[in-house]
């Protein structure tokens, strides 16, 4: 057993972020000259529990990976040490580059099973060994973006901030959760490295331990207000929330006297509905209607919906655990399947796991009020179902190179907001008991192919 190395996946060993069988299969393909062109499709077979739509995310990290994928000498040395691989194959890996084509849905777009989120057209080995990474990144980011979109919809225009890093499943999860949440409409994150990496706005105030580090709450509030005159949001529930609100008023008056403002008061525990009403009243009656109330503490879309239904007085929500882990549906079952190779269409017949063959296009058809009406999933060369139909899959990489510069995250975020405006009302319901299904139809040729189990192109 090798000695332990630093506990991180780094750009240097990212090439080994792969299920072993991808490499054993690739070795076998290489030794038998089975490296002809193949098409793999990445798609989801069915919606996860409690979801009526998905927001696609993860493409940018995939393109970054594909452009930079190299097998370092250290990685090759490790593979050699396993005594599994042929010398011939390890030689091949030395000069490995991904040189295939990628078609993909743009990030932030609404998608449904079983539409391809991404198609890879590449020599078989190149297409095969990227599977683990592609699924890992797209499954997780799509899942969190989809959860975040539900939370943002529930908040009805109020701000939602990602506060999940301490409960996220590792550091990459926290980075990508912040990005996916922002893409789906959150206003920012508490995660500083996500701010640095993606330019996402960062938010933060103080913890209970800060308040406890002073003689009393008022001293803590005063100190913070003087240290952060432009960012004074006070956590008011360390000892007694209403007392905290009154202390916030005292500090707000002192700030006002020197031309400063307290921006907000945060409540993180207790009955958030009742407390938000009392705190709002205290702030308003003392002449501070402009101080905003931020609620947090194990929130999700259902709790937010109920708080607002009851009439909670709130301006923004901080959401952590449930957002960052997609708590009620923590894994998306995206799969990556061979659909075509040099011999034609490929069909897998395993029980309950049928895969639609061939290169595809997904078309979106809108009704007269610009709401999504239905999608049509068809072979890539089938005609559009309507003149106004929009094609979801676009070429994004050719011969291993991006066709366009990296898309700004703000652009994907706008696309997501635009797509959500076109989402039919019945798909917006948060209720776990009224999940509605959007219609994804099959094109005529794809239907015909599906009807006859063949593995040969006719």
Where in 8-47 is the site for its own copies (CB under 8 A)?
8-11, 13-14, 16-25, 27-29, 31-32, 34, 38, 40
Q: Looking at beta carbons only, is 199 or 383 nearer to its own copies?
A: 199
How many Å apart are CA 312 and CA 293, to the nearest integer?
Answer: 10
Residue from 289, 330, 344, 395 in contact with its own copies (CB under 8 A): 330
If we measure between CA atoms, which residue out of 403, 336, 325 comes closest to residue 102?
403
Residue 318 has φ and ψ, to the nearest 5°, of -105, 125
Instruction: Please list, residue by residue across 341-369, b when 16 or more beta carbons sit within 10 angstroms of its beta carbon and e when fewer do.
Output: beeebbbeeeeeeebbbbbbbbbbbeeee
Q: How are strands ordered across the β-sheet holding 360-366?
A: 390-391, 360-366, 372-379, 440-442
How many residues does this entry show for the chain?
A: 458
Residues 235-274 interacting with its own copies (rule: CB under 8 A): 237-240, 268-270
Q: Is 312 in the site for its own copies (CB under 8 A)?
A: no
Q: Looking at beta carbons only, is 262 or 427 nearer to its own copies?
A: 262
Output the smallest distance, CB 426 to its own copies, in A: 28
User: Cβ(135)–Cβ(142) under 8 Å?
Assistant: no
Residue from 45, 99, 123, 228 in contact with its own copies (CB under 8 A): 228
Q: Are strands 264-267 and 233-235 parallel, antiparallel or unpaired?
A: parallel
Residue from 33, 95, 351, 369 in contact with its own copies (CB under 8 A): 351
Question: Under rule CB under 8 A, how many of the chain's residues touch its own copies?
Answer: 126
Give the long-range contacts of residues 2-5, CB within 8 A, separation 24 or more: 2/78, 2/81
Residues 105-164 interacting with its own copies (rule: CB under 8 A): 124, 128, 131-133, 135-137, 139-140, 163
Residue 333 buriedness (CB in 10 A; 0-12 / 13-18 / 19+): middle
Which range in 104-112, 152-160, 350-358, 390-398 contacts its own copies by CB under 8 A?
Answer: 350-358
Residues 368-427 interacting with its own copies (rule: CB under 8 A): 406, 408-410
Residue from 276, 296, 300, 325 in contact with its own copies (CB under 8 A): 325
Residue from 91, 199, 253, 367 in contact with its own copies (CB under 8 A): 199
Residues 177-196 interacting with its own copies (rule: CB under 8 A): 179, 190-193, 195-196
Q: Looking at beta carbons only, is 388 or 404 nearer to its own copies?
A: 404
């Amino acid at each position: 057993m090798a000695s332990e190395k630093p506990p991180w996946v780094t750009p240097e060993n990212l090439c080994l972020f792969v299920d072993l069988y991808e490499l054993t299969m690739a070795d076998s393909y290489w030794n038998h000259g089975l490296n002809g062109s193949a098409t793999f499709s990445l798609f989801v077979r069915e919606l996860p529990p409690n979801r009526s739509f998905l927001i696609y995310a993860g493409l940018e990290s995939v393109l970054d990976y594909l452009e930079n994928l190299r097998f370092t000498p250290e990685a090759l040395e490790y593979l050699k040490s396993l005594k599994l691989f042929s010398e011939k194959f390890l030689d091949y890996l030395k000069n490995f580059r991904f040189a295939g084509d990628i078609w993909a849905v743009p990030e932030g777009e609404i998608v449904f099973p079983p539409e391809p989120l991404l198609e890879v057209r590449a020599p078989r080995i190149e297409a095969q060994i990227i599977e683990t990474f592609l699924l890992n990144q797209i499954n997780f980011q799509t899942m969190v973006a989809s959860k975040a979109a539900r939370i943002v919809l529930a908040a009805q225009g109020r701000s939602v901030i990602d506060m999940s890093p301490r409960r996220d499943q590792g550091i990459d999860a926290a980075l990508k959760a912040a990005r996916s949440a922002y893409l789906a409409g959150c206003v920012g994150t508490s995660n500083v490295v996500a701010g640095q990496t993606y330019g996402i706005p960062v938010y933060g105030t103080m913890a209970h331990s800060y308040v406890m580090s002073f003689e009393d709450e008022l001293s803590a509030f005063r100190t913070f207000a003087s240290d952060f005159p432009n960012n004074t949001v006070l956590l008011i529930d360390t000892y007694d929330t209403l007392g905290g609100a009154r202390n916030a008023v005292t500090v707000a008056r002192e700030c006002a006297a020197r031309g400063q403002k307290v921006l907000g008061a945060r409540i993180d525990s207790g009955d958030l509905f009742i407390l938000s009403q009392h705190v709002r009243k205290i702030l308003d009656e003392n002449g501070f209607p402009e101080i905003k109330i931020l609620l947090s503490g194990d929130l999700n879309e259902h709790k937010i919906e109920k708080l607002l239904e009851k009439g909670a007085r709130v301006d923004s929500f901080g959401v952590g655990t449930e957002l960052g882990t997609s708590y009620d549906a923590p894994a998306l079952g995206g799969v990556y399947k061979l659909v075509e190779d040099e011999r034609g269409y490929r069909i897998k017949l395993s029980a309950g796991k049928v895969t639609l063959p061939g290169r595809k296009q997904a078309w979106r058809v809108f009704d007269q009020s610009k709401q999504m009406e239905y999608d049509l999933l068809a072979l890539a060369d089938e005609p559009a179902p309507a003149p106004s139909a929009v094609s979801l899959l676009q070429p994004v990489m050719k011969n291993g190179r991006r066709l366009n510069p990296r898309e700004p995250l703000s652009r994907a975020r706008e696309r997501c907001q635009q797509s959500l405006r076109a989402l039919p009302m019945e798909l917006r319901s948060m209720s776990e008991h009224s999940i509605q299904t959007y219609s994804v139809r099959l094109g005529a040729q794809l239907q015909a192919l599906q009807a006859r189990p063949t593995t040969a192109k006719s």
